Structure formats: C-alpha cells, structure tokens
Structure 1
Amino acid sequence: MTTNKISALCAGFCLLSTTAAAQGTPELYGQVAARVIDQEHQDRSVEAYDVRLGLRGMGQYANITAVYELEAEFTNAVNDSSDNNNDDNELEIRNARLLFPTQLGTFVIAPKTPSSQYLILYSAVDIFETNRAYTNNGVSQIFDQAETSSHVLAWLSPRKYGFQGLLSYLTGSTDSGTDSDYVTWWLEWQADEESDLSGLRAAIGQVYIDRLAVHALAEDDAVRTTATIGYTNHGLHLGATYEHSDFKGFANMDRETYGIAASYTYNGYTLGAGYYERSFDDDLMSSQDNKGTVVTLQKRFNEDLMFFIENGNFDLDGQSSLSVGAKLTF
C-alpha cells in the first residue's frame, strides 16, 4: 500500500498532518507552534500552543493490513515556568491507535485519538490558530465538541456515491468511577471532484452522552447534534456549523451554537474571518451566552512553514485576544 493510499484511508477517520510512512518504514513527524498572545485580563505571554512529536506507519501482518500511529503533545511541558519541576500530566498522549482497512471499511481501536467527530463536523469553521472551534481551547469557549477522544472502538464505512459514515463506541467513567459510555455517529457527503459541485461537502452527526456523565441524578442520556456544510475551491473557503446540546432533564443546560467562517488564499496569503454565537435556551443562563468575531491574516511559505496574526473579540469576559505566531511542521 502506498503512502498516498494510507493518507486517504486515514483521512475519513482523522486527517493526518502529512503523508504516512511507506510500508515497513515508520515515519517520525512533528510540529512546533508558538505565539505571542495578549489575552484580556492576562499578562502578555510568549508561549507554545501546539507542540507534537509522533511516529506512524503501516505493515502487513499475516495478511492483515494495519496502520499505526503514536503521537505525544509537549505543549504543557514546554510552557512550564518551573524548568526542573515537570509534572506527570504535562506530557499528553494525543494519539495511540490502530486502523485495520478492509473491503468492508476500516476498523479502529484507539485508546486515544484525534476526534473524527470534530474533524468532520467542525473543520468547516475551524480555520484559525488561536481561536480553535473545539471546547476548552484555552482562549475562547464556543462549541462543546472536544478535539480528542479516548477509549474508542470505531468503524468507518467505504465511501460510496460520495457518502461515508462512521459509528463509534467510547468507554469511560465519571470522577466517582461509575461507568459512563458514549456512542457517536456521523454521515458525510462530498461532491465528486469532476462535477460542477467540486469542493462542496455536508455532514451531520450526533454524540449520545451517558446520563451519569451529565449528573448523578440524570435519568436520560444527553444528545449533541451537529450539522455542517462547507465549500473549498480555487482558494475560496466557506463554512458553517450548527450544534445543539440537549441535556433532557437538565434543560437549563440546553444550548445551541453556530459558527460561520470564510477565507481566501492567494499567493501564499490567507485572509480569514469568522462569526460564532452560543445561546442557552434558559434565560437564567443568559450570562453564559457568548458571541464573537475572529479575523486572521496568514502567510504560508510552503506546506510546512506558516506565520499568522489573529484577533478575536468575544462577549464573555477574558476571552478576547490578539496573537502573532508561527507554526512549523516536519
């Protein structure tokens, strides 16, 4: 299997940052991303925001094809102000997974993996460096979807007539040790590259959250539903994502979020802008409503090196920021 085939196989589950290694030759890859950030109510800081190192490859074992990937994130360790006091939780395993491609689809076992739910349903509006679309990105808070997933079993279907789907089961536990499992699915459609609609894609998906992960007294599972549409062609990108979180018996937590984003790339320069809004159904939770705009200018010298300046303005206190940075992948 060639490197391009490995990348294509993995893309539906989670996009690999570069092409995967050839058969029998594991590839070492990584990324160093740093910025100067001036965030509301915080001191200006020079910091890492995405530092990774990983190993991946593919092999044939007793007529079974396996793709493997192991990736660690060093961002917290790099940003530790006490050079000789590294805590155990500063090194995060971002990716540890095995993928088994077959004619019936790809079967995945992943103790830790970048979330395909996030990639497929949120990438249309995830065009920024500092103000990412995932929850708890460290700066702004809009959507509820996490960037990574843990304890995952998944099946990725073959793509037929432009459609591809994924079904996954996540095992987990609450802080008290009680079992708390998740079920997720998504269905994506992509226009054929040779058609007049080339560059158009749409997807919908859901996350079923075990009631015990919501609250010890919850009687029903929570459901997060997301729909997205995107168009990318000739340097132009347009995207929109809508998310609704339904907490059933805890209706005061119900909320809906949407984002729209657009960018245009010419001669290595990309100008991008986005608008995001989150609103709770319960008026008593209106203090947690949030909306904001993000604007960025990026300069990419090649596929490995990029510089950017980005400004985000949000209603919630402490979430606005101005950042300038660089990202190098290898």
Structure 2
Amino acid sequence: MRITTPTRLLSSAVLLSLSMTAAADTGPKVFGLLSVGALNDEKDFETEAYELELGIKGVYDIEGIKAAYELLADFADAANAEEDIDGEDEIHVRQASVAFRTQYGAFVIAPRAVSGQFRNIYGGLRKFEYNEPHASTPAAGGKVFEQPDEGQNVLAYVSPNWNGFQLIGASLQINEDNDEDHDVIAVRAVYWGNNWNIGIGRVNVDKEAGPPSANDDYNRDSIGFAYNFSKFELGGVYERNSDRFGGDDSDVFGVAAKYHFGQGWSSSLGYFDKDYDNDDTGVDNSLVVLNLKKQLKDNVNLWAEAGEYDEGSDNIALGVNVEF
C-alpha cells in the first residue's frame, strides 16, 4: 500500500542505543528487486516500473538479545513520474524497523512496515505480479480486498513459536491529531504446518481515526490458508468488513492456485469477489487473473499476466523480475 499520510513518529531512543561496536550476528546485507515491463490497462501501451526496491538488513547480538533491523525503499513511483513533473523525488519507504528477539518473543518498533496481517493471512493469494490482492493494488480500479499491504507507526509483539502456533498483536497510529494513541489494533493467530498454514485475525480501526460522521469502530475480520503440494499450490482468503467508514459492510473472498510444470515454467490462476450488503452504497467487483512465468535463473524470471475485472480496468502486463 502506498501510504500518503506522512510518517512523523521519531525513532525511539532505544534504536539509537544500538552500538556500532556490538558484535554483528549477520549482515549488513544489501538486497533488492527490479521488476520492469510493459503495461496495457485500457490506456496507452507503456513501459512500467512495477517495483524498484533496495534495502539493507542485518542482526546485532546485544547481550543475548537479537536486534534485527531492516530498511527498504521502493523507487518505482519516481521512475514512473513524467519528466519535469512533481514526483521525481517520490521515494517510498516500505520498511523501517527494528525487532528485538528474545526467548519471550519479539518486540517490534517500525515507523513503516510491510503488513504482517497481509503476509500471514493473505499469503496464499500472493501469486500475482500486477493484480495484487490488497487494498492498494497498482491495477486501476482493481481494489477488491480492504486489507492494506503496509502499515505505519507500528508497535508489535510476536509470541514464540509453540509447536507451530503463534500469536501476534500490533498497534498502529494513522492520525496523530485525534487524541487517540492507538488508532488501529491488529491481532492474529497463525498455525504453521509442514507444508501448509492457516491464519485468522481482526483489525479494529477506532472511529476517532475515521471521518467525523463515524459512529462505530470499523472492523475487518479475515481467515486465510495456504497449502503447498509437490508441484501445486493452493490458497484462499475470506474477509468481512463491518461498519466501514463511508460505506456499507462487505464480504470478500479469493482463491488462487499455482502449478509448476517443470523446466522453470509455472502458471497461476485466481478468482476474487467482493459483495456489498447494500448495492446502493458500494459497487460489487470481481477479478479473474491469469499469470504465466518462466524462471531463467534462481533470481531472474519473465512473466505475463492478464486481469479481467467486473468493475475496473482490464489489463495485460508483461515483465521481468531480477532479485539480488
């Protein structure tokens, strides 16, 4: 998700206490993703930077406590901006976090973070490049799910793994002028099996973070699973949005499958559907998306994707991904 509200949360003093003389456990490691190609979405055919990510991460061992840090930025908005038009300096920070890992769990401080709620519950649907299953998918008019893929001003706790079971809780602040310190509370439970996982969670958005007309908190409940066979992957998500700010309640579900043919070829097929309880206050939408991918090397692949929407711009996208 592209967050437009500026992040003003200053780094905690505890982050500054990470001495550069501490014994390095791993890293620092530079990593990134270059995803570029060509797009036709009912407008002029054009080349597109889908993702241009560059990051650094590592772990410090400080008296038995692991301090894992990560900084990740995406330069795609700047690359796609038209010449001599504002936007050339739009560097989007996707992750800026420090996690303190202890035997009692992990404590996370993140002015900006990739959403764990999205990663853990919606992960089985993440098989597509352009028609992404989250609230701020780049596909024009393509929003089906309400769950964003990022959050800001995050304080979180991740429990230890108890035989595959974990509990996670997080507080987020999205409006710092409403006299409410915890605008969003997100909780989830996740179970990890040998080749499958399931997650269930709730996101509560305080009415003080909504418009002045909001009378109730907005709640998003979701459950998702992912299952990996030898050559076949299957995932599904159900999402319920209650007391939406400025709109009616909605039900959203999606299912996605991926098959590995061999010799680096794979194909993914997905179907997503959104229904509002009252058609007068929301426009129902659905999506069928097909992806074909060819892996050239471990970190290089070519792909083609087509998305067809009930409401929204149909698209055909071609691309190449290079990871390092």
What TM-score bracket applies, with the shorter chain setting the length? 0.7 to 0.9
Amino acid at match of 1:329: E
Deviations along 1:242-281, one digit per CA (max 9) or x if unpaired, are 0011017x68421111000101113211111000100111
| Residue segments in structure 2 that go unaligned for 5+ positions in a row | 1-23
Structure 2 CA distance, aligned partners of 1:303 and 1:155? 33
Amino acid at match of 1:138: P
Q: 1:156 and 1:83, CA in 2 relative to 1: closer, same or farther beyond 3 A?
A: same
Question: Normalising by the residue count of structure 1, what TM-score does the alignment of the two structures yield?
Answer: 0.85
| Maintained 8 Å contact 1:31/1:329 | yes
Aligned positions of 1:143-292 closer than 5 A: 143-173=145-175, 177-179=177-179, 181-191=183-193, 193=194, 199-247=195-243, 252-267=247-262, 268-286=264-282, 288-292=283-287
Aligned positions of 1:1-330 closer than 5 A: 23=25, 25-40=27-42, 42-82=43-83, 86-88=87-89, 90-139=90-139, 140-173=142-175, 177-179=177-179, 181-191=183-193, 193=194, 199-247=195-243, 252-267=247-262, 268-286=264-282, 288-318=283-313, 320-330=314-324
| Maintained 8 Å contact 1:172/1:179 | no
Deviations along 1:141-186, one digit per CA (max 9) or x if unpaired, are 1101111111000011111122112100112207xx3245100011
| Maintained 8 Å contact 1:304/1:329 | yes
Structure 2 CA distance, aligned partners of 1:213 and 1:282? 24
Structure 2 CA distance, aligned partners of 1:310 and 1:76? 21
Tell me how far 1:232 sits from its aligned partner. 0.7
| Maintained 8 Å contact 1:164/1:188 | yes
Q: Which segments of structure 1 move beyond 3 Å, counting only runs of 4 or more?
A: 83-88
Q: Secondary structure at the match of 1:120?
A: helix
Q: 1:235 and 1:81, CA in 2 relative to 1: closer, same or farther beyond 3 A?
A: same
Tell me how far 1:63 sits from its aligned partner. 4.0
Amino acid at match of 2:237: T
Q: 1:252 and 1:137, CA in 2 relative to 1: closer, same or farther beyond 3 A?
A: closer
| Maintained 8 Å contact 2:79/2:88 | no
Structure 1 CA distance, aligned partners of 2:179 and 2:291? 42
Structure 2 CA distance, aligned partners of 1:84 and 1:203? 43
Tell me how far 1:84 sits from its aligned partner. 8.0
Deviations along 1:71-102, one digit per CA (max 9) or x if unpaired, are 111001111221685554x1111111001111
Amino acid at match of 1:310: E
| Maintained 8 Å contact 2:135/2:145 | yes
Tell me how far 1:210 sits from its aligned partner. 1.3
Amino acid at match of 1:187: A
| Residue segments in structure 1 that go unaligned for 5+ positions in a row | 1-21, 194-198
Q: Percent identity?
A: 30
Structure 1 CA distance, aligned partners of 2:318 and 2:48? 11
| Maintained 8 Å contact 1:252/1:281 | no
Amino acid at match of 1:239: G
Q: Secondary structure at the match of 1:143?
A: coil
| Maintained 8 Å contact 1:238/1:261 | yes
Structure 2 residue aligned with 1:16 = none
Structure 1 CA distance, aligned partners of 2:312 and 2:174? 33
Structure 2 CA distance, aligned partners of 1:190 and 1:305? 28
Amino acid at match of 2:159: S
Deviations along 1:47-85, one digit per CA (max 9) or x if unpaired, are 101111111111123443201011111001111221685
Tell me how far 1:190 sits from its aligned partner. 1.8
Question: Normalising by the residue count of structure 2, what TM-score does the alignment of the two structures yield?
Answer: 0.87
Structure 1 CA distance, aligned partners of 2:293 and 2:143? 22
Amino acid at match of 1:222: Y
Root mean square deviation of aligned Cα = 1.8
| Maintained 8 Å contact 2:200/2:222 | yes
| Maintained 8 Å contact 2:77/2:87 | no
Q: 1:246 and 1:277, CA in 2 relative to 1: closer, same or farther beyond 3 A?
A: same
Q: 1:270 and 1:83, CA in 2 relative to 1: closer, same or farther beyond 3 A?
A: farther
Tell me how far 1:23 sits from its aligned partner. 2.0
Structure 2 CA distance, aligned partners of 1:38 and 1:282? 33
| Structure 1 or 2: more helix by fraction | 1
